[in-house]
Structures are given as structure tokens and as C-alpha cells.
């Protein structure tokens, strides 16, 4: 059994503990350990039930994001959830701290759910441009109904334990020692002959088909102007939960997850997420749950990018475009306001935005070459947090890579004939020579 999972038996109840601090990310090693543990629970007659716990300050922060680009390996989380749900013996999950993403999906697959008073749980995958991929979109509406399920997933917010119990996600909130309380709860289930209670079989919250589909339609209307791809896919999956048998619903969700993984928005959002955690703290720091640029190095780099953006905008105006057209193009691209302060989206501004972003790429490349930042991804994170660059685009360097670096270099060479603001940076030439583009630099 993998070292990342601890296993013991107390009076007929197996106690399985995630042991991969500090966040108990559900890596392949940890999943393999859980698989072995729950197979043991299934096979050994003296084990009558099980409790799943997390070591440390939180239950689990969810998937190991490093596996997103390499594939999860076996068993994947969906298979593990199915194994737990199918067990013929009651399984109790007890969470402390946070149970997010895949960690919460493990809870949904279990037969009974407990939490510490300050625990929080949720499915924030939309923040990475994804839908939950281990049955979350199918099990959650079975427990709390379509409206609350969609709201929880689309908002990316976590729900507190007392609220979770009130809406039907938890069977209880444990005061005092969580592990002891969970074991006692499981022993009580065994003593009273309580059978597994499988979430997939719960239909009461979806029994009113009209209400279910009304909630789906209401959510679609509310998100009609939302530029993000993943929320709409979440709604599709919740709709499928009522239309399809459970296994078919899982397949629908898996397809939606794969499509989201390949979508440029998810690529960009995951890129920013990883880059935020790699950037030097002399450039960007985390403060009260959000990121801010650091003075002097981070703010100096942001100022350079801002200057390039402003200069490109002024050059376009000098060439005959109106300030409103430039502002409208950048607002349509995803900025909250344009270089000249306008806040209204315009039409047909893609080429305007392309030229302005290209100027930021040129300056960002210079920042890398001169050592102002370590890597192109640093430029992206600073642009997102310092300039309001739309996160779903991933920053100027990521956006350029998504659109195609070779075509951008060709255009920049033409634009640079009139203004060296678009001079092709050495870093762009280097990125074109690598299969991974800017991602392979630094």
C-alpha cells in the first residue's frame, strides 16, 4: 500500500487516512493507495465499514494539477469514486479544513458524510476552465437539486459545514475530535445494520423534472453573456443528470471534461494558476487570499507592460483609429477598461487587440531577456494581476501562443517597419523553435 495512505482497523472499522501533506493532493500514488485500501475493505470479512480521513489542516485540495498535461494514470479519480460507492460496506468520509474539487467528489461518492465545524467544501473546477470530472456534476444535483448544484459549481465558492448540513450535503457536523467522532458514527452504522447509501441511487431532489429543467433554463439565461466556456458545460452536465442513466451521465461528464481540457480558456487558466505558484515572490505576493505585485521589481515590470500597451494604443490612434474604437476593442477582448479609460465594448476589434497585445509581447520578451523576470509566464501573471489582462486569455505571452507564434512574428515584422514598438523579441524566436513555445523557456 502506498506510503501516502495510512490504514488501520478499529473494532471492525477500517480507518483510511490521506497522508500527503500539506494539501493531500490526489496524485496517482495517493489514488493507488486508496484503491488498495478500499479493495482490502471489500475483501476482508472482519472489516464491516470504513472511515476516510485527511491528515493535517485540510482533507484534500483536490487533483494534482501537474497531472493535467500528462494524464492521470490508473486508477483515475472517477474509477476510485466508483469503487468506494460500490462497496457493500458503509463508507463514511469526515472532512476538516477544506474538501475541494476531487476531494469533495470523494465525499459525494461515499455513503455518509461528516465534517468539522469550520470545514468548507466545493467544486471550483470552473476557475480552471473545467467541469468536475469524477462524477461531481452527476452526484451533487442528486443530493441538493439542480439549482443549488449549478450555483455551487459555477460560483466556484466553497460552502461552510453548517450550510452544507442544512442543504443535505452532510449527515452531521462533529464537535471535538473528528476522527473519533467519525469512527463512532461508523461503528453505530455497523451496529444498527445500516447499509451503504449510494448517491447515484438518490432521486428525490430530481423527482420534479419540471423544476430541474426550469433551474437549468434559468442558469443558461443568467449566463448567456458570460464569456467563459466551462460554466455552460456544467449546466449541460446537470441537465444530463436528469435525462440520462447514471453511467451514461458519467460518460457525458467525462466527454465534457475532455472538451474543456482542450479548450484554449482552460489551457490559459491552468497556465496562470501554475505560474502564480512559480513566480518569484520579489515580483508577486499573496495577500489575504489574492495576489498583488511587489514594489519595486514587480511594479516596475508592470509599468513597462503598461507603457507598451499605452504606446501601441496611441500609435493606432495616430494612424486614424478613434480612442473609442481602441478602448472598445480592448474591453471586448476582456479588459475592464481600455487604454484611454473607456469601458464599453466595441465591435470588430480583434485586429486592434492583436496589435496591442503584440506590443506587450515585445516588451515582455525584453523583460525576460534583460532579467527583469525569469520566464515568459511571469509576464503573464504580472499582466493579469497588475494590468487586468483577462485571466481567461492567460496573459499576453500565453495569448500569443494560443493564436500562433509564427503568424504573430510575421505580422510583427511588418508592423516594426513603421514602429520598433513591435520589434520581434529574441524570446519569440526561441519559443518558435521549441515544441512547447514560451512554456519551455525558464
Active site residues: 105, 125
User: Exposed/middle/buried for 254, CB within 10 Å: 0-12, 13-18, 19+?
Assistant: middle
Q: How far is CA 39 from the centre of its chain?
A: 30
Whether the CB-CB separation of 183 and 51 falls below 8 Å is answered with yes
- For 46, the 3-state DSSP assignment is coil
425 HSE (CA, 13 A, CB side): 22
Whether the CB-CB separation of 376 and 385 falls below 8 Å is answered with no
Pairing of strands 290-293, 284-287: antiparallel
Whether the CB-CB separation of 99 and 119 falls below 8 Å is answered with yes
User: Exposed/middle/buried for 417, CB within 10 Å: 0-12, 13-18, 19+?
Assistant: exposed
Among the listed residues 207, 72, 80, the one whose alpha carbon sits nearest the alpha carbon of residue 146: 207
- CA 115/CA 182 separation, integer angstroms: 9
Q: How far is CA 142 from the centre of its chain?
A: 22
- CA 299/CA 254 separation, integer angstroms: 42
Sign of CA dihedral 351, 400, 223, 246: positive
Return the ∠ at Cα 153 (arms to 204 and 216), rounded to 5°: 55
Cross-strand bridge partners of residue 10: 13
- CA 268/CA 396 separation, integer angstroms: 10
- CA 3/CA 373 separation, integer angstroms: 38
- CA 283/CA 79 separation, integer angstroms: 41
- CA 194/CA 197 separation, integer angstroms: 9
Whether the CB-CB separation of 355 and 415 falls below 8 Å is answered with yes
Q: Which helix (H) or strand (E) holds 64?
A: none
Q: Is the omega angle on the peptide bond into residue 22 within 30 degrees of 0, that is, cis?
A: yes
Amino acid at each position: 500500500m502506498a506510503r501516502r495512505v495510512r490504514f488501520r482497523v478499529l473494532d471492525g472499522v477500517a480507518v483510511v487516512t490521506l497522508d500527503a501533506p500539506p494539501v493531500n493532493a490526489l496524485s496517482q500514488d495517493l489514488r493507488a493507495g486508496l484503491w488498495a485500501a478500499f479493495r482490502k475493505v471489500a475483501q476482508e470479512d472482519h472489516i464491516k465499514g470504513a472511515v476516510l480521513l485527511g491528515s493535517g489542516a485540510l482533507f484534500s485540495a483536490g487533483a494534482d494539477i501537474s497531472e493535467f498535461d500528462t494524464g492521470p494514470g490508473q486508477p483515475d479519480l472517477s474509477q476510485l469514486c466508483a469503487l468506494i460507492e460500490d462497496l457493500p460496506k458503509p463508507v463514511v468520509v469526515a472532512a476538516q479544513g477544506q474538501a475541494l474539487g476531487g476531494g469533495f467528489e470523494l465525499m459525494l461518492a461515499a455513503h455518509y458524510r461528516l465534517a468539522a465545524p469550520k470545514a468548507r467544501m466545493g467544486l471550483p473546477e470552473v476557475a480552471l476552465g473545467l467541469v468536475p470530472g469524477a462524477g461531481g456534476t452527476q452526484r451533487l444535483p442528486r443530493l441538493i437539486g439542480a439549482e443549488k448544484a449549478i450555483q455551487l459549481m459555477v460560483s466556484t465558492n466553497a460552502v461552510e459545514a453548517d450550510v452544507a448540513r442544512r442543504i443535505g450535503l452532510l449527515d452531521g457536523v462533529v464537535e471535538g475530535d473528528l476522527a473519533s467522532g467519525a469512527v463512532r458514527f461508523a461503528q453505530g452504522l455497523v451496529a444498527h445494520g445500516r447499509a451503504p447509501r449510494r448517491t447515484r441511487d438518490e432521486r428525490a431532489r430530481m423527482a420534479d423534472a419540471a423544476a430541474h429543467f426550469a433551474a437549468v433554463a434559468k442558469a443558461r439565461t443568467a449566463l448567456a453573456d458570460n464569456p467563459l466556456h466551462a460554466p455552460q458545460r456544467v449546466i449541460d452536465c446537470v441537465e444530463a443528470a436528469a435525462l440520462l442513466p447514471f453511467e451514461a451521465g458519467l460518460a457525458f461528464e467525462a466527454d465534457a471534461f475532455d472538451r474543456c481540457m482542450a479548450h484554449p480558456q482552460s489551457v490559459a487558466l491552468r497556465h496562470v494558476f501554475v505560474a502564480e505558484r512559480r513566480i518569484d515572490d520579489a515580483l508577486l505576493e499573496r495577500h489575504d487570499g489574492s495576489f498583488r505585485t511587489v514594489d519595486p521589481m514587480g511594479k516596475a515590470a508592470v509599468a513597462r507592460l503598461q507603457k507598451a500597451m499605452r504606446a501601441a494604443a496611441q500609435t493606432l490612434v495616430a494612424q486614424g483609429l478613434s480612442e473609442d474604437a481602441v478602448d472598445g476593442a480592448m474591453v471586448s477582448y476582456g479588459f475592464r477598461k481600455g487604454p484611454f479609460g473607456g469601458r464599453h465594448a466595441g465591435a470588430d476589434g480583434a485586429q486592434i487587440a492583436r496589435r496591442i497585445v503584440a506590443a506587450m509581447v515585445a516588451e515582455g520578451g525584453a523583460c525576460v531577456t534583460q532579467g527583469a523576470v525569469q520566464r515568459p509566464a511571469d509576464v503573464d501573471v504580472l499582466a493579469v494581476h497588475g494590468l487586468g489582462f483577462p485571466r481567461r486569455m492567460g496573459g499576453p505571452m500565453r495569448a500569443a501562443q494560443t493564436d500562433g507564434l509564427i503568424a504573430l512574428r510575421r505580422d510583427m515584422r511588418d508592423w516594426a517597419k513603421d514602429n520598433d514598438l513591435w520589434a520581434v523579441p529574441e524570446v519569440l524566436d526561441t519559443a518558435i523553435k521549441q515544441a512547447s513555445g514560451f512554456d519551455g523557456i525558464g
